[in-house]
Structure 1
Amino acid sequence: MTQRTGTAVTFRRVAALATAVLATTVLSAGCGAGGSAGSEPTAAPSADPKAVLLAAVPNDKDPAFRFSTLDGTDTFVGVVDPAAHAMDLGITQKNDDPEFTMAMTFRVIDEDLWMRVKLTGMPGLHDAMKLPKRWMALDRTKLDDESEAPVYQNADPANTAAIIRTADTVEDEGSGTYTGVADLTANADVQSAFDGIDVTALGEAAKKVPFTAVVGPDGNLTTLTLEIPAAGKQKAMKLVTRYYDFGKAPKLTAPSGDQVQKAPASAYELLNG
């Protein structure tokens, strides 16, 4: 679930492509030997559970917080800093043959974009791939499809508000738990949050996807879980978004000094395949 068309899906594809490119290169090169606490309420109290739930969704007045999304089998983690219009988005993938782990992180401030790649499990892999360990400042115009690179849009990276709005009614189950039924076909904003799901294959079931949301004692949305039914070759799955550590997550700034360098050609080769 993402705030712009293709962000998480593109990130997944980039990570998978990068892993494949790394594995192929390593094999050929023979490198194997070496509304939050302390913030003002965003809405007046309401008897309408849907309004209460929507008021709990993060907005640009919230302090920095962490998030994670479980999108099928992939977990994305990151930080959102609304005041800086900034976001970190990361994923870690393991490769079996050869064995190594790649952690890839994008940092976005408005439309400025940096990438950091951490390779572990094979000594000398960074040097072999000509990839620095520092942040790399990316030039969007050098990406094959710059429109799919992440940008900062708002403080709700999983589009939870757009999903909740599709529910005709939301039930207050008590203890901060809310339930409803989402329509994944409702509009482009909602559909863009599910690029990894074959909404067409779901048919009518896509219009009545159950969800459960939990609001913490501080008034912040902490989890949104959607129960996606099986359809065709697609297995039933849960899509889970977590928002947490409001006011405890680090503030995000542009990498500077010896933390950063311009992205070398090898970085664009990695991203563009």
Structure 2
Amino acid sequence: MTQRNGTAATVRRIVLRAAAVLATTALAAGCGTGDASEGSGPAPTPPADPKATLLAAVPTEQDPAFRFLLQDGTDKFTGVLDPAGEAMDFAIQQQNDDPKFTMGLTFRFIDQDLWLRVKLTGLADVPDSLKLPKRWMAMDRGKLKDESSIPAYQGADPGNTAAVIRTADTVTDKGNGTYTGLADLTDNADVQSTFENVDLKALGEAGKKVPFTAVVGPDGNLTSLTLDVPAAGKQKAMKLVTKYYDYGKAPKIAAPTGDQVQKAPALAYEMFNG
């Protein structure tokens, strides 16, 4: 799953603020339409554009730390993102069938520094070949053959919701903070790489009009975006869900220190280098 930054959403917020200031200034200066001598009042304020309002709700670098959940088909990612510190915890669980066990991976990123923590469950006796420290492991990026495959902090919108919303021709305000629209998952590479578990080729034309529902909280922050992907070919219908929550309540992310961390052993690099 690819992350992109929230630059576009930040610009839209600035544009909306600037437009509001200009509109207020114009009204104060009497720059309305019609003849003032006819006693006409100022022109009514046009309603907010739902798409612009929804994009402005997407988290940006100015937002406080928050938690997130990304459900991409059968994969579920959870974590904490701290835009001010350019930091992120990013966790996923992976099931293995033979032998049967569950592996939990948690990455921590602060700027360019990277740590990894691994938890294995379901194995009665963990063989020496699979034993890894329970502490955070400090990773040397120079020892990773394919660094591009490792998730990294790339902005305040880990679900790439802004890119999805921008593909919609029309967004409808349903009231109570709920918005709906049709997203084009074939529109650009950013959107396609975000939902790599979706067979876009099988979807065909249906991939250009995928229904979504977004919810904005009372504080003006996006809390969820759900895409309802139809069944196509061998692919079952699925929901692609992004949730952002606990704005300002999520813990700050700090570099592990002391007995919380150690250098990553060779096995940690073998897991990713193959």
TM-score by length of 1: 0.81
Residue number in structure 2 paired with 1:216: 217
- Does the 8 Å contact 2:2/2:151 carry over to 1? no
Residue number in structure 2 paired with 1:50: 51
Amino acid at match of 1:151: A
Q: Percent identity?
A: 71
How much does 1:203 deviate? 1.1
Which aligned segments of 4 or more residues in structure 1 are displaced greater than 6 angstroms? none
Measured at CA, do residues 186 and 235 of structure 1 come closer, stay the same or move farther in structure 2, by a change above 3 Å? same
- 1:230 is paired with a residue whose SS is coil
- 2:79 is paired with a residue whose SS is strand
Amino acid at match of 2:132: L
Q: Pairwise mapping of residues 149-160 of structure 1 onto structure 2 (< 5 A)?
A: 149-160=150-161
Residue number in structure 2 paired with 1:272: 273
How much does 1:134 deviate? 0.8
Residue number in structure 1 paired with 2:176: 175
User: What does the per-residue CA deviation read over 1:233-265, in whole Å, with 9 as the maximum and x for residues that have no partner?
Assistant: 111110011000001111111212211111110
Residue number in structure 2 paired with 1:87: 88
TM-score by length of 2: 0.81
How much does 1:120 deviate? 2.8
- Does the 8 Å contact 1:110/1:153 carry over to 2? no
Q: In structure 1, what is the Cα distance between the partners aligned to 2:135 and 2:125? A: 15
Q: Which segments of 5 or more consecutive residues in structure 2 lack a partner in the other structure?
A: 21-46
Amino acid at match of 2:209: K
How much does 1:101 deviate? 2.8
- Does the 8 Å contact 2:89/2:106 carry over to 1? yes
Residue number in structure 2 paired with 1:11: none
Q: In structure 2, what is the Cα distance between the partners aligned to 1:147 and 1:54? A: 28
User: What does the per-residue CA deviation read over 1:127-147, in whole Å, with 9 as the maximum and x for residues that have no partner?
Assistant: 552310111111222223111
- 2:60 is paired with a residue whose SS is coil
Q: In structure 2, what is the Cα distance between the partners aligned to 1:125 and 1:248? A: 37
Q: In structure 2, what is the Cα distance between the partners aligned to 1:97 and 1:191? A: 31
Q: In structure 1, what is the Cα distance between the partners aligned to 2:149 and 2:70? A: 19
Structure 2 residue 113 is matched with structure 1 residue 109: no
RMSD: 2.1
How much does 1:96 deviate? 5.0
User: What does the per-residue CA deviation read over 1:176-233, in whole Å, with 9 as the maximum and x for residues that have no partner?
Assistant: 0000011112122222212221212211111111100000111111110001111221
- Does the 8 Å contact 1:201/1:231 carry over to 2? yes
Q: In structure 2, what is the Cα distance between the partners aligned to 1:111 and 1:91? A: 20
Tell me how many residue pairs correspond in the alignment.
238
Amino acid at match of 1:85: E
Q: Pairwise mapping of residues 125-164 of structure 1 onto structure 2 (< 5 A)?
A: 125=126, 128-164=129-165
- Does the 8 Å contact 2:72/2:241 carry over to 1? yes
Q: In structure 1, what is the Cα distance between the partners aligned to 2:83 and 2:125? A: 37
- 1:224 is paired with a residue whose SS is strand
Residue number in structure 1 paired with 2:29: none
Amino acid at match of 2:2: T
How much does 1:111 deviate? 2.6
